[in-house]
């Protein structure tokens, strides 16, 4: 009955902890499936304990029950009698797990429903249930069972930018506290009924007030949960803002790193959403609206395009001020555009505002901020769903001639936006040169790339293509399959532009959508889009469109006027006319010279490579520092038991030595009356004997020697001698330690303490020689006595709190008696 109650509570704790996974999945199918896995594991563990199987066998039975459950639920057609696992059913489960893993990497949370996703969640919950059952029920170690339960919280905390729901945390914490309480109650219950105390009561005795003890334990548990929930939400610096916004998003004058899920993982999900729901609507005075940008992804690490970490400060707030000027926009013609956007109520987790580039002023309620470099507008606390806001933007209209005549970009732009991983294959680099062969400017190179992707390269727009996960996927898209959607087109063109020395990044957001009869523009899920932005000095960041448009591509994609073939032909120099890239006599900045046999500008390429090298060196330095810091933390963690053991030993001897100084005992005299420099010169013999005996006990526990606290010193010495087969000096040293402790306890005159430390050294060496190698190293590096001392410290703290509760209860009772 005892184990059954604990089994049920362990299963309940696992179920409550699993509720923290709810932000990761759509629907509730995963939760019901996880509940079935928990029940199967609990039933398997209970059956094994009913049959009195060993601990290892019980865990295997629980794992087998989980496997049978997964087989019945997800692969009954391939199983024997729809129950027994077979090679076919295992292969089916493996395929579903692979599909689930792929979907988890492709979509942003919450991921859509699917058998693979559901199986992945169920297997994770079931595995945690097996571990909790092993630790809490089989091994009766309820406290360590909190580690696998904590793992269920670490997954959403690592994936999602939002804090974990306090309700989910409170439920999981309540389940863990119930597990601890049940385990403690059953362990105490094994001792029988409480023994009456000596104080109070008419008969001179009173029963232990178990009710007050239980109430104190419950109050402690509830207080711990309340503190864990409230303190992080209210104290600035722990929570990003604090419940009362005391932190100001990182504190006044402070900064905070802004992190969001990978922007591109949800792009395909938006494009393939069956409901094609309305995301936002807007009105604008721009006769030909531009795209609404959310993100500017400037980092390509060889795996994905992401944006550099944003350091947010209170000074970055957009309210009531003009935003920083767009970088590089100096000579191109511009005009102001006002756009009023209304985001749909059902939009969730949109913490970046869609806005036409480049925003100069934003009117929106809430704490919204701007990144000065990319002009992305974001919030640490608010969501765009259901909001209406106005954006004033600076719309640039560069001409093809201005782009062709653009001078070299600044060194910091080249360093940041030409960075590429070193493992890009040479065929891709050669392809960039081949596609842009004959171009006389970086603008013509960009136009050739755009035309090659959109029309001449044989590419097909296909939403069924997998999202790129690295350079190998982009290489396959460029050289083999040539099938993909906007992410592949934008990522590939930006990568090839950087190869050619053109600063480039990938932008993500929405196309302009479609205009209704009332003049209002409507943007839907299918209008989600990614496109490349290339940098030209004087015009800044300008958009290109390599993705096919219309019915054969992204339906609402449009090509900017400066990127259309007509504009390129209009400004192309005729025969005999000076090339726009040639330097003028008016002192115009010269274009960088090109390398022989290469299309890459020498200065830009050198600056890009130098910047990439510098950034690579910085990344390498950060990686080394990170590994060193991590290694230091691991070593510190591993050294904690040893340090605690050494500290306890030193404190033990120090207390014994200080007691003699307090008593004013004279120094011990050796033969001939000379002063002995041993510990007896400063130590109290009885205190030193007790310290030596405690040290012997700790050493015995460290080496796995059976130590019984009820034994007398001589009985303990005899038991140790017989269990380890000690002989010679070790036996004599052990007997001297036992006699010293015995005389310190009972005799008027303690034994001389001169040889205590030497005796301890002899016995310690005997312990090490008598045990096996793993036990010997465990005693050196992770002594169990240190953990015991930590547990004892915890028990003392709990006892002190319980004592305070009992005192308060007693005082309350006395006050009640006085009132009567």
Range with lowest mean pLDDT among 261-270, 282-291, 489-498, 726-735: 261-270
d(CA 242, CA 237): 8
- For the chain, the farthest-separated pair of C-alpha atoms sits apart, in whole angstroms, at 122
What HEC string does 200-225 produce? CCCCCCCCCCHHHHHHHHHHHHHHHH
Q: How many CA atoms does the CB half-sphere of 233 hold within 13 Å?
A: 15
| Dihedral sign of CA atoms 467, 472, 476, 478 in order | positive
Average pLDDT (535-549) is: 93
pLDDT at 277 over 80: yes
Distances (CA, A) of 389 to 271, 571, 575: 25, 39, 51
- Vertex 390: Cα angle to 386 and 391 (nearest 5): 125
Average pLDDT (237-262) is: 44
Comparing CA positions, the residue from 76, 80, 651, 84 lying closest to residue 96 is 76
Higher pLDDT, 572 or 167: 167
pLDDT of residue 635: 75
Q: List CB contacts of 173: < 8 A, sequence separation 6 or more.
A: 224, 225, 228
pLDDT digits (tens, 9 = 90+) for 188-208: 655 555 555 444 444 444 444
Q: List CB contacts of 189: < 8 A, sequence separation 6 or more.
A: 2
Is 504:534 a contact under the CB 8 Å cutoff?
yes
d(CA 282, CA 441): 37
Is 547:461 a contact under the CB 8 Å cutoff?
yes
pLDDT digits (tens, 9 = 90+) for 319-369: 888 999 999 988 889 999 999 999 999 888 888 999 999 999 999 998 899
- For the 401-506+528-576 domain, the top CATH level (class) is alpha beta
pLDDT at 542 over 80: yes
Confidence of residue 605 (pLDDT cuts 50, 70, 90): very low
d(CA 665, CA 676): 14
Confidence of residue 219 (pLDDT cuts 50, 70, 90): low
Comparing CA positions, the residue from 156, 353, 380, 376 lying closest to residue 258 is 380
Number of Cβ within a 10 Å radius of residue 169: 19
Q: Which residues pair with 554 in a beta bridge?
A: 549
- Vertex 534: Cα angle to 529 and 538 (nearest 5): 130
Confidence of residue 679 (pLDDT cuts 50, 70, 90): very low
Pull the structure tokens for residue 543.
């958009």
d(CA 687, CA 293): 76
pLDDT at 37 over 60: yes
d(CA 25, CA 28): 8
Secondary structure (3-state) at 798? helix
d(CA 190, CA 180): 16
pLDDT of residue 613: 46
pTM: 0.48
**Beta strands 540-543 and 528-536, pairing class:** antiparallel
Higher pLDDT, 772 or 260: 772
Comparing CA positions, the residue from 262, 23, 42 lying closest to residue 121 is 23
* φ, ψ for residue 444, nearest 5 deg: -65, -35
Average pLDDT (586-611) is: 39
pLDDT at 290 over 90: yes
Distances (CA, A) of 665 to 244, 658, 668, 682, 688: 62, 11, 9, 8, 13
Phi-psi region at 350: left, alpha or beta (left = phi > 0; alpha = psi -120 to 50) = beta
**Beta strands 388-397 and 359-363, pairing class:** antiparallel
pLDDT of residue 239: 43
pLDDT of residue 262: 59
**Beta strands 305-306 and 521-524, pairing class:** unpaired
pLDDT of residue 572: 52
Secondary structure (3-state) at 369? strand
Judge residue 416's burial from the number of C-beta atoms within 10 Å of its C-beta, 0-12 exposed, 13-18 middle, 19 or more buried.
Answer: buried
Number of Cβ within a 10 Å radius of residue 295: 22
Strands annotated E in 290-408: 292-297, 299-300, 305-306, 310-312, 333-343, 355-356, 359-363, 368-370, 377-379, 388-397
Residues of the chain with CATH 3.10.620.30: 401-506+528-576
Secondary structure (3-state) at 228? helix
What HEC string does 313-344 produce? CHHHECCCCCCCCCCCECCCEEEEEEEEEEEC
- Answer whether the bond into residue 358 is a cis peptide, omega within 30°: yes
Is 703:767 a contact under the CB 8 Å cutoff?
yes
d(CA 184, CA 190): 10
Judge residue 610's burial from the number of C-beta atoms within 10 Å of its C-beta, 0-12 exposed, 13-18 middle, 19 or more buried.
Answer: middle
User: Where do the H-state alpha helices sit in 594-712?
Assistant: 602-663, 685-702
Average pLDDT (7-20) is: 89
- Give the percent of the chain with pLDDT over 90: 26
- How confident is the prediction for the chain on average, in pLDDT? 77
pLDDT at 388 over 90: yes
DSSP H or E segment with residue 522 = strand 521-524
pLDDT of residue 728: 87
Distances (CA, A) of 676 to 393, 669, 683: 89, 6, 12
Is 305:314 a contact under the CB 8 Å cutoff?
no
pLDDT at 454 over 60: yes
Q: What is the DSSP annotation of 525-541?
A: GGGEEEEEEEEETBBEE
Range with lowest mean pLDDT among 78-92, 133-147, 394-408: 133-147
Q: What is the DSSP annotation of 253-281?
A: T--EEE--S-GGGGHHHHHT-TT--EEEE
pLDDT at 677 over 60: no
- Give the percent of the chain with pLDDT over 70: 70
pLDDT at 579 over 50: no
Average pLDDT (204-230) is: 51
Placement of tokens 């076919």 in the chain: 88
Higher pLDDT, 440 or 257: 440
pLDDT of residue 237: 39
* φ, ψ for residue 624, nearest 5 deg: -65, -45
Distances (CA, A) of 684 to 664, 690, 745: 9, 10, 13
Placement of tokens 């400004």 in the chain: 571
pLDDT of residue 240: 42
Confidence of residue 661 (pLDDT cuts 50, 70, 90): low
d(CA 306, CA 297): 5
Give residue 671's Cα distance to chain centre: 67
């Amino acid at each position: 009955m005892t184990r059954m109650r604990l089994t049920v509570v362990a299963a309940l704790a696992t179920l409550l902890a699993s509720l923290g996974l709810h932000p990761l999945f759509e629907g509730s199918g995963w939760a019901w499936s996880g509940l079935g896995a928990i029940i199967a594991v609990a039933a398997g563990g209970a059956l094994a304990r009913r049959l009195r199987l060993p601990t290892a066998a019980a865990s295997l039975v629980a794992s087998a029950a989980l496997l049978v459950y997964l087989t019945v639920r997800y692969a009954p057609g391939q199983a024997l009698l729809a129950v027994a696992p077979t090679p076919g059913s295992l292969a089916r489960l493996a395929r579903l797990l692979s599909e689930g893993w792929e979907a988890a990497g492709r979509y942003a949370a919450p991921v859509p429903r699917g058998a693979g996703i559901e199986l992945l969640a169920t297997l994770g919950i079931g595995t945690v249930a097996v571990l909790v059952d092993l630790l809490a029920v089989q091994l009766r170690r309820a406290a360590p069972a909190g580690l696998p339960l904590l793992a269920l919280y670490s997954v959403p905390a690592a994936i999602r930018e939002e804090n974990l729901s306090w309700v989910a945390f409170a439920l999981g914490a309540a389940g863990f506290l119930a597990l601890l309480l049940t385990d403690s109650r059953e362990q105490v219950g094994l001792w029988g009924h409480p023994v009456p105390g000596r104080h109070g009561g008419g008969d001179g005795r009173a029963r232990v007030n178990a009710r007050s003890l239980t109430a104190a334990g419950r109050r402690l548990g509830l207080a711990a949960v309340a503190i864990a929930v409230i303190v992080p939400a209210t104290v600035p610096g722990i929570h990003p803002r604090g419940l009362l916004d005391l932190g100001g998003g990182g504190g006044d004058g402070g900064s905070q790193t802004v992190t969001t899920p990978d922007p591109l993982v949800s792009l395909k999900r938006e494009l393939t959403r069956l409901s094609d729901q309305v995301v936002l609507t807007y009105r604008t005075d721009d006769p030909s609206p531009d795209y609404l940008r959310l993100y500017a992804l400037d980092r390509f690490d060889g795996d994905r395009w992401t944006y550099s970490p944003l350091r947010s400060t209170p000074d970055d707030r957009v309210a009531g001020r003009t935003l920083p000027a767009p970088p590089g926009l100096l000579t191109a013609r511009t005009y102001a555009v006002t756009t009023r956007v209304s985001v749909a109520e059902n939009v969730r987790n949109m913490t970046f505002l869609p806005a036409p580039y480049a925003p100069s002023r934003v009117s929106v309620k809430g704490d919204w901020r701007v990144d000065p470099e990319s002009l992305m507008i974001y919030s640490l606390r608010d969501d765009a769903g259901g909001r209406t806001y106005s954006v004033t933007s600076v719309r640039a209209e560069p001409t093809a001639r201005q782009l062709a005549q653009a001078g070299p970009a600044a060194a910091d732009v080249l360093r940041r936006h030409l960075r590429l991983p070193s493992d890009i294959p040479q065929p891709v680099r050669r392809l960039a040169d081949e596609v842009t062969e004959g171009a006389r400017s970086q603008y013509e190179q960009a136009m050739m790339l755009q035309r090659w992707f959109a029309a001449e390269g044989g590419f097909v727009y296909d939403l069924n293509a997998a999202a790129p996960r690295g350079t190998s996927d982009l290489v396959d898209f460029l050289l083999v399959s040539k099938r993909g959607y906007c992410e592949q087109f934008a990522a590939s063109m930006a990568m090839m532009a950087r190869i050619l020395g053109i600063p480039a990044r990938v932008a993500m957001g929405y196309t302009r959508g479609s205009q209704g009869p009332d003049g209002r523009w409507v943007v839907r899920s299918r209008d989600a889009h990614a496109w490349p932005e290339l940098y030209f000095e004087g015009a800044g960041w300008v958009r290109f469109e390599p993705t096919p448009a219309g019915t054969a591509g992204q339906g609402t994609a449009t090509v900017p006027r400066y990127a259309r073939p007509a504009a390129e032909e209009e400004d192309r120099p005729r025969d005999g006319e000076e090339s726009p890239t040639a330097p003028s006599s008016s002192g115009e900045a010269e274009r960088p010279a090109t390398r022989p046999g290469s299309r890459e500008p020498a200065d830009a390429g050198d600056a890009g490579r130098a910047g990439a090298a510098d950034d690579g060196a910085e990344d390498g330095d950060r990686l080394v520092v990170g590994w060193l810091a991590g290694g230091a933390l691991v070593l510190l963690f591993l050294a904690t038991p040893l340090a605690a053991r050494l500290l306890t030993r030193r404190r033990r001897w120090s207390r014994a030595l200080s007691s003699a100084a307090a008593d004013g005992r004279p120094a011990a005299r050796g033969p001939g009356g000379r002063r002995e420099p041993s510990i007896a010169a400063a130590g109290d013999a009885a205190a030193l004997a007790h310290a030596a005996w405690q040290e012997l006990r700790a050493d015995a526990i460290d080496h796995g020697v059976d130590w019984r606290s009820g034994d007398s010193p001589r009985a303990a010495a005899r038991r140790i001698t017989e269990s380890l087969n000690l002989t010679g000096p070790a036996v004599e040293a052990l007997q001297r330690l036992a006699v010293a402790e015995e005389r310190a306890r009972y005799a008027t005159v303690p034994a001389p303490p001169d040889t205590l430390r030497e005796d301890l050294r002899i016995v310690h060496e005997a312990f090490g020689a008598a045990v096996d190698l793993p036990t010997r190293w465990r005693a050196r590096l992770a002594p169990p006595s240190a953990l015991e001392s930590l547990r004892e410290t915890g028990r003392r703290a709990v006892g002190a709190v319980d004592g305070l509760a009992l005192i308060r209860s007693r005082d309350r009772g006395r006050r009640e008696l006085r009132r009567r």
